[in-house]
Amino acid sequence: MTDLSKGAAHWQGRIVPIAEAALPVTDWGVTHSDIAYDVVPVWKGGFFRLDDYVARFMASLAALRMEIGRDADEVKAALTEMVAASCLRDSYVAMVAARGRNPVPGSRDPRDCENHFYAWCVPYVHIVKPDAAMQGTSVWIAKRIRRIPADSVDPTVKNYHWGDFTGGLFEAKDNGFETVLLLDHEGNVTEGPGFNAFAVFDDRLVTSDHGVLHGISRRTVLEMAAEAGLRVETRPLPLDEFLEADEVFLSSSGGGVIPVAQVDELHFSNGAAGPVALDMRRRYFDWIERPSHRTEITY
């Protein structure tokens, strides 16, 4: 029996070890980062908000004019089959559409490309290790790099254009910080590599409404905040205002709610995770186990 414990891929209609799945070098997914994708978490043997994640993936395909020959139910079936075969009960699961190869020699016309679907899963990914998240992570505000403008690459379509994030991560790591947040060209906080950012002011929660992916984890935080009695504001968030917050935290499908203890040289909550962030983190792991939000997997 094939060992899929390190990860599996749904590739060309078959389930294979993740190391055996690879894109051709001439696929536009490789040569142009021309890919739409989404990531849904599996926790304790069940998908969290699977319908929502797949719906966003299908919306991204429409926005990028990709046709993969599968509808939403078929995508969900492929993901379920793959995760069940892997036996991973806590997993980071990606669904992907690549532009594909252009069969017309010399053509630069994206309409000629043969779009295709694939998926992969690995053991659950925490973008910040759980012990570090509980203590509060550190975030660098990129000084040299700005977020790609929305009229260049649509941030509401989850994609592989990470040139700005990668440059920002180099800045953060070179300065001894765990991760990075990017500003837009007007000086507003946008997002970081794989997460949205939130600022807490008394009983208000503020997060950017532009230059960001409208993440499912972000949506979950906004819904949890309403449940907790917080007032929610989605709007431009200037850096100066962000740095005046009582608390700051992040949200990601890779770890849920992640408290922040430090932004640049500024320490929040006396250099620790704040109470609202910790409450939101606790609520997230409660929500991820609620039957109404889960799609159980038969292994």
Burial zone of 246 (CB within 10 Å; 0-12 exposed, 13-18 middle, 19+ buried): middle
- What fold, for 8-123? D-amino Acid Aminotransferase; Chain A, domain 1 (3.30.470)
| Cβ 91 vs Cβ 142: under 8 Å | no
The C-alpha atoms of residue 19 and residue 30 are separated, in whole angstroms, by: 17
**Mean pLDDT for the stretch of residues 103-116:** 94
The C-alpha atoms of residue 114 and residue 180 are separated, in whole angstroms, by: 35
Spatial CA neighbour of 188 closest among 138, 232, 148, 240: 240
Model pTM score: 0.95
Q: Specify the domain boundaries for CATH 3.30.470.10 within the chain.
A: 8-123
Name the strand (E) or helix (H) holding 179.
Answer: strand 179-183
**Mean pLDDT for the stretch of residues 14-21:** 96
What are the residues facing 15 on neighbouring strands? 10
Residue 1 has a pLDDT of 66
The C-alpha atoms of residue 50 and residue 38 are separated, in whole angstroms, by: 11
- Provide, rounded to the nearest whole percent, the portion of the chain with pLDDT above 90: 97
- Kindly tell me the number of DSSP H helices and DSSP E strands found in the chain: 8, 16
| Cβ 99 vs Cβ 28: under 8 Å | yes
Residue 269 has a pLDDT of 87
- What fold, for 130-287? D-amino Acid Aminotransferase; Chain A, domain 2 (3.20.10)
**Mean pLDDT for the stretch of residues 233-245:** 98
The C-alpha atoms of residue 47 and residue 40 are separated, in whole angstroms, by: 7
Is residue 171's pLDDT more than 70? Answer: yes
Is residue 98's pLDDT more than 90? Answer: yes
User: What one-character DSSP code corresponds to residue 125?
Assistant: -
Q: Which amino acid is at 68?
A: I
Residue 106 has a pLDDT of 87
Residue 116 has a pLDDT of 98
> How far is C-alpha 89 from the geometric centre of its chain's CA atoms?
19
Residue 30 has a pLDDT of 96
Q: Specify the domain boundaries for CATH 3.20.10.10 within the chain.
A: 130-287
Q: Which amino acid is at 227?
A: E
| Cβ 201 vs Cβ 164: under 8 Å | no
**Mean pLDDT for the stretch of residues 32-60:** 98
Is residue 101's pLDDT more than 90? Answer: yes
**Mean pLDDT for the stretch of residues 183-195:** 97
Indicate the SS3 state at residue 74. helix
The C-alpha atoms of residue 8 and residue 152 are separated, in whole angstroms, by: 34
Tens of pLDDT along 71-80?
999 999 999 9
Query: Pairing state of beta strands 294-296 and 46-48?
Result: antiparallel
Q: Whole-number mean pLDDT of the chain?
A: 96
Is residue 134's pLDDT more than 70? Answer: yes
**Mean pLDDT for the stretch of residues 276-280:** 97
Residue 242 has a pLDDT of 98
Which two structure tokens, joined as six digits, stand for 154? 């649509």
Is residue 2's pLDDT more than 90? Answer: no
